[in-house]
């Protein structure tokens, strides 16, 4: 009971609030480089004119060729009205993109008509329903030219690595760990594992970032300030699985709550202080360094990248947003950007060879199989292999 009483002192309103973040590539300039401001303006205009009875606040941002919508409301996750607003706003923006002849206009809108929920229709979705604290700071991370599994490493660092997050050692509320919800996005299954006791089991899965992805992180029920609360959520939409072919990389986003029994803003950002390798980059087919940048530097240029991440910091109070702060737009991350450039220089020298290029199993939904299919009838048996097969088939099996 003492823990419940303590928890109430940190919660300003027991009414639930939902943070929904929905993103899509609906056309870019000149190729996959950056969004086009008239398209962004149209998305913003549509939401402003149609959301007053549904949303308490919203913010439009972008990274690379993706437009990002952060929305605040009390309708819960998977709310049809909220999802419809985002879908219709993207459709309105697509019409503008097509009028200018932008490249890839509407490419992430994989269905013709809205069917009640935007999930499985192309746009990426990250949502969490929360019990807001008196001060509710959170970060929105947006990546471009990479896949959902690219969040596995930094989310683990934030919530499970004491070398990154000393709060796990010295903050009593964080010391007991967090619960990770991990999805097998190939098999369509999920599992929940808690730290610190299951750290090795978690790592056994999330290192395979194209198959296992962290979907959510929760506080444990013993957390004195925020018991059993969703504190991080990541988009897990795989465009190739929806469309059956490569139509663009998934370009994930994440919402991470911070401070007061959770990772501090600096701990959450520290996870991006070294540019780890991610999959995606040019044609969704190459490994490369993830570069933390401010929004003004989020254009995709060299080899359609390198893959980048932007972080915006907000505070939520009574349904209204304050901010954002462009968190990576700071000289403290200049070193990470320089190192990413060095890694890009090194790995680009490998051209189409692995491990710069992705392995065959991850190229299945790209255009490479079409090239290889044209060559399949030109293959001939290798004589030594043929003789070995004949020898095995004539062995005395009595």
Instruction: Identify the residue with better confidence: 117 or 60.
Output: 60
Average pLDDT over residues 262-289: 97
Q: Which two tokens stand for residue 132?
A: 């807001």
The answer, yes or no, to whether residue 243 has pLDDT greater than 60, is: no
The answer, yes or no, to whether residue 322 has pLDDT greater than 50, is: yes
What contacts 202, CB < 8 A, 6 or more positions away? 156, 160, 180, 182, 193, 195
Q: Where are the domains of the chain?
A: 1-11+131-398, 17-129
Assign 389 to helix, strand or coil: helix
Q: Over the chain, what is the mean pLDDT?
A: 91
pLDDT in tens, 118-177: 888 889 999 999 999 999 999 999 999 999 999 999 999 999 999 999 999 999 999 999
What band does 32 get if pLDDT is binned at 50, 70 and 90? Answer: very high
What's residue 4's pLDDT? 31
What's residue 204's pLDDT? 98
The answer, yes or no, to whether residue 374 has pLDDT greater than 70, is: yes
pLDDT > 70: percent of the chain: 89
Q: In what order do the strands lie in the sheet with 17-24?
A: 57-63, 66-73, 17-24, 124-130
Average pLDDT over residues 71-95: 97
φ/ψ (deg, to 5) at 257: -80, 145
pLDDT in tens, 324-341: 999 999 999 999 999 999
What band does 12 get if pLDDT is binned at 50, 70 and 90? Answer: low
**Structure-token match 């062995």, residue found:** 395
What's residue 1's pLDDT? 31
What's residue 186's pLDDT? 86
59 in active site:
no
What's residue 183's pLDDT? 94
Radius of gyration (Cα) for the chain, nearest Å?
23
Instruction: Identify the residue with better confidence: 41 or 9.
Output: 41
- Fold observed for domain 17-129: Alpha-Beta Plaits (3.30.70)
* Burial class of residue 274 (count of CB atoms within 10 Å of its CB; 0-12, 13-18, 19+): middle
pLDDT > 90: percent of the chain: 80
Q: Which residues of 246-269 are buried (b: 16+ CB within 10 A; e: fewer)?
A: bbbbbbbbbbbbbbbbbbbbebbb
Choosing from 119, 225, 246, 251, the catalytic residue is 246
What's residue 337's pLDDT? 98
What band does 397 get if pLDDT is binned at 50, 70 and 90? Answer: low
246 in active site:
yes
The answer, yes or no, to whether residue 228 has pLDDT greater than 60, is: yes
25 in active site:
yes
Report the number of secondary-structure helices (H) and strands (E) in the chain. 12, 15
What's residue 365's pLDDT? 73
Choosing from 225, 249, 251, 326, the catalytic residue is 249
Q: How far is CA 334 from CA 89, 178, 295, 305, 317, in A?
A: 35, 31, 14, 17, 32
Average pLDDT over residues 83-109: 96
* Beta-ladder partners of 255: 140, 233
What's residue 237's pLDDT? 67
The answer, yes or no, to whether residue 38 has pLDDT greater than 50, is: yes
Q: Angle at the Cα of 43 (from 37 to 47), degrees rounded to 5? A: 145
Average pLDDT over residues 259-277: 98
φ/ψ (deg, to 5) at 146: -160, -170
The answer, yes or no, to whether residue 249 has pLDDT greater than 60, is: no
Choosing from 25, 66, 250, 304, the catalytic residue is 25
**Claim: this prediction has a pTM higher than 0.75:** yes
What's residue 6's pLDDT? 36
């Amino acid at each position: 009971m003492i823990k419940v009483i303590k928890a109430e002192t940190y919660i300003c309103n027991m009414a639930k609030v939902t943070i929904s973040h929905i993103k899509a590539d609906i056309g870019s300039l000149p190729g996959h480089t950056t969004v086009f401001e008239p398209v962004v303006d149209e998305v913003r205009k549509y939401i402003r004119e149609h959301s007053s009875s549904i949303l308490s606040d919203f913010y439009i941002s972008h990274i690379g060729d993706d437009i990002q919508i952060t929305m605040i409301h009390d309708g819960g996750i998977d709310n049809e009205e909220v999802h419809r607003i985002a879908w219709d706003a993207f459709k309105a923006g697509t019409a503008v993109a097509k009028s200018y002849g932008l490249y890839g206009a509407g490419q992430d809108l994989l269905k013709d008509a809205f069917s009640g929920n935007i999930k499985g229709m192309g746009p990426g979705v990250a949502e969490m329903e929360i019990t807001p604290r008196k001060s509710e700071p959170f970060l929105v991370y947006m990546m471009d030219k990479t896949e959902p599994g690219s969040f596995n490493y930094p989310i683990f660092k934030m919530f499970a690595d004491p070398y990154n997050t000393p709060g796990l050692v010295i903050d009593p509320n964080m010391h007991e760990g967090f619960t990770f919800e991990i999805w097998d996005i190939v098999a369509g299954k999920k599992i929940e594992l808690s730290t610190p006791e299951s750290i090795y089991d978690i790592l056994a899965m999330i290192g395979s970032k194209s198959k296992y992805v962290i979907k959510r992180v929760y506080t444990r029920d013993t957390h004195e300030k925020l018991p059993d609360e969703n504190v991080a959520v990541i988009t897990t939409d795989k465009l190739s699985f929806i469309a059956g072919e490569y139509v663009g990389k998934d370009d994930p986003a994440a919402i991470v709550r911070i401070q007061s029994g959770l990772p501090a803003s600096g701990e959450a950002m520290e996870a991006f202080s070294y540019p780890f390798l991610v999959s995606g980059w040019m044609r969704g087919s190459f490994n490369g360094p993830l570069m933390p940048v401010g929004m003004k530097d989020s254009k995709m240029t060299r080899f359609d990248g390198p893959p980048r991440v932007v972080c915006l910091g907000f505070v939520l109070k009574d349904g209204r947003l304050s901010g954002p702060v462009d968190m990576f737009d700071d000289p403290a991350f200049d070193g990470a950007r320089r190192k990413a450039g060095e890694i890009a220089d090194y790995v680009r020298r490998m051209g189409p060879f692995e491990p710069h290029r992705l392995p065959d199993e991850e190229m299945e939904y790209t255009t490479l199989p079409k090239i290889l299919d044209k060559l399949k009838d030109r293959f001939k048996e290798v004589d030594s292999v043929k003789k070995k097969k004949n020898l095995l088939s004539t062995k005395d099996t009595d």
